[in-house]
Structure 1
């Protein structure tokens, strides 16, 4: 499937269903996300308790309450579904907060394109979004068919168990995920084109480019959050030989996403500095001989050019302030959350569900 070419700046745009949901919800970002999770996972609990295959809570031979391991799988999938909807619902809003600063960072010809980033999805992408959603939906159904074959049961038996939850939720989950991937690709393409065609590098106002750093930081944060959720499937505090490399790889992925967003700006800043230094060196060459000959005006000009050369050389080359760099270093800690979360979940289950030791 090929991506549609970017259209003129005045192309009509539409809002996704997730964005409309979050805009109309009276519960805010956190409240709406929590409600989605409760509904999705609560639906699993309801099916598990109604079908008892397996039950969400049951007694073991010793008379203690226990919960089936598949409940943890459903818990993580519910988190993934919630995060996917939340990211899609807040994507436009995240751009809106940077619009004013982004307009200042581009030349006049690119201001409309910068404003359009916060106006939703171009209508030319609507068909592609729909196709990818339904492709993911079909993939989710195929996933359930594979599960039925692996379990060696009939479709009716599968639907009369917690398999019904997977049959309903997984197509939506995959569909949302496929479409989210296309949305990320589109937004990345638009911002990269904006940077390539219209970014204005003023060495006296490099702080204006920090808005690109904020955008890259948010993309990296989204990756780290989703990765932290996915790691709930595989991390084990007792198997550090697997856990530590996985966390390191996840953190490296976040660094890659951040640097890939900032690198085009970095190259432009470096090019601007090199051009300015070349101009300074040309001017220094013109006054050097006169300064060495003792001409006061030339000596003063050469000293000023030398100071300016040092200032230009020391200008930052990455659109990332100290505060943003500190925040990113904290985001790297997000993959550690699955270790703590799985440990606390196990202890909570022992203490409150099974009645075992804390």
Structure 2
């Protein structure tokens, strides 16, 4: 292996998933359960109620609901992030077999992990995230309206402090790695994609890659939206949700727009060429003699080909991908429905 290849390594998230005897889903679920159990231990130590009575109905306390959402966020970041990485790598190899030039060096950025430079850049973004998390914690998390400082922290306060800083750090780190992963697929894309206007489906892999890249951020934004159900102060949550949705939009739109532009340009060039040939063939067809008879089949074929090219879609999106995109957009609605279901289950369990 080259020195350049040895300079690559996986982050702790990938190493954790690879070392786990469970699959991606259950590894993330186990982490979420362990984190929530750790919160419950802290809450019980401090004598806090997990379930409270609100207007005659049992419900999770504000802290318990927030801790549940935070645990789910860790599941989303770790499990879905690693799923996106592995699935996009498999998709890239499929694209390379369909004529899309994906160099081994570019694929290595996903197969063997980021470079040291990418890790250092991610660490820098993580520090920015930790600072943002500290500000977020001190402004938003105020039990009984009081600011919590190290001097008056309980064990539960400390749990929220560590989780908030950890989540912000991980989100910012993931954004840095996400930018790198996305650039792998769009770097020099103009010189690597051969457009076959009669079979655009060869490029549908780009749509699936873009959609997978957006999924973790849409789901993270959805869980953050769920956090609002247990918060008194929501002003800082709106910019956070907007930032996550913006990240998802950029990750989805960037490769999609690049491929769309390539298809559109190829379509314009091909239609211009066909219409020149149709004009020339029609002139021969309108003339008299044997050449007119020979031009008839060619004119018919050119007209049919023009219609086929004109109808070729200009986006690398098949119907299953479009359907999944619609489901992803419905995630926020599902999150509020999920919150209502949790409340209903609690009411049934507690009688």
What is the TM-score with the length of structure 2 in the denominator? Answer: 0.83
- Name the CA distance, whole Å, in 2 between partners of 1:95 and 1:334: 22
Moved more, 84-93 or 314-323: 84-93
Cα pair 2:84 2:213 within 8 Å, conserved: no
Deviations 1:255-293 (A, max 9, x none): 775444312111111111111111112222322222101
The change in CA–CA distance for 1:252 and 1:296 in structure 2 (over 3 A counts) is farther
1:42 aligns with 2:37: yes
Unaligned runs of at least 5 residues, structure 1: 1-8, 237-246
Give distance in 1, aligned partners of 2:83 and 2:126: 18
Shift of 1:329: 2.3
Q: Give CA-to-partner distance per residue, 1:243-264, whole Å, 9 cap, x none.
A: xxxx9xx999967754443121
Query: 1:347, 1:252 → 2: CA distance?
Result: 33
Using a 3 Å threshold, how does the CA distance of structure 1 residues 113 and 264 change in structure 2: closer, same or farther?
farther
Name the counterpart of 1:73: 66
> Could you tell me how far 1:157 is from its partner in structure 2?
2.6
Residues 1:278 and 2:272 aligned together: yes
Query: Which residue number corresponds to residue 158 of structure 2?
Result: 164
Structure 2 distance, partners of 1:154, 1:214, is 45
User: Hey, what does 1:137 align to over in structure 2?
Assistant: 130
Contact 2:133 2:164 in 1 (8 A): yes
CA contact (8 A) 1:47 1:164 kept: no
Distance 1:154 1:21, change over 3 A: closer
Change (3 A) 1:11 1:266: farther
* Unmatched 5+ stretches in structure 2: 231-240
What is the rounded CA distance, in whole Å, between the counterparts of 1:145 and 1:280 in structure 2?
65
| Per-residue deviation, 1:307 | 1.2
Whole-angstrom CA distance in 2 between matches of 1:207 and 1:191: 17
C-alpha separation between the residues in 2 aligned to 1:194 and 1:40? 42
CA deviations over 1:299-330 (Å, ceiling 9, x no partner): 22212111111111111211111222222223
Alignment of structure 1 residues 145-164 onto 2, 5 Å: 145-146=138-139, 147=141, 151-152=146-147, 155-158=150-153, 160-164=154-158
Aligned with 2:108 (options 104, 116, 130): 116
CA 1:141–1:154 in structure 2 vs 1: closer, same or farther (change >3 Å)? Answer: closer
CA RMSD, 1 decimal = 3.3
The answer for the alignment partner of 2:340 in structure 1 is 343
